[in-house]
Structure 1
Amino acid sequence: MAINLTCYSKICVSDLQDKIDALTKKHSEIFPDHYVLYKVRKPDEIQKEISNEFGLDPSSFFRIALVDKSLQVSTLNVADMLREELGKDSIIVLFEGESLI
């Protein structure tokens, strides 16, 4: 069974997709063989409400699935990588869509 992360961001959809594409290329040893990054999309009202509960008003979101657990890069490491690459104030990462990590 896959482990899923949901990432909400203040960055607009097109800009965030560009950044995610660059991140995928930069870390090709991780993405997509071990973690799959799904396309960035605009959040609906329910997704906005979930993100707002954690203090972020999102312009975009995307999901990540851990599909190969053999790599020694934890979901916490991936969350830290995303915050470092995208800016810690512009993204939140939720484990299974519920718990802030």
Structure 2
Amino acid sequence: MQLRELAHARTGDKGNTLNVSVICRDPRHYDHLRAHLDAATVKARLAGIVHGDVVRYELPALCAFNFVMRDALGGGVTRSLALDAHGKSVSSVLLAIEVPDPA
């Protein structure tokens, strides 16, 4: 199943750093996603976009994760020639990751 079935996401940017928050739709899925959605998986999925480190911050009280990605925006909004200089569409790419069904 796709991650989007278990979570939604929001993005933000600061300079050349992109962050994507992944928020569980159901709190019961937090531990499942904690086990199956790590920084390495996110970096692999976004290999053509993210050229720096990916760090996952866990927010258990919110049933969410915040992924911070360095060197991900082509130098930042004012320097990038990308159509999506803020990286807003990255959340859709991330939500297409396949994860096991929590059944």
User: TM-score by structure 2 length?
Assistant: 0.45
More helix by share: 1
- Name the larger-Rg structure: 2
User: TM-score by structure 1 length?
Assistant: 0.46
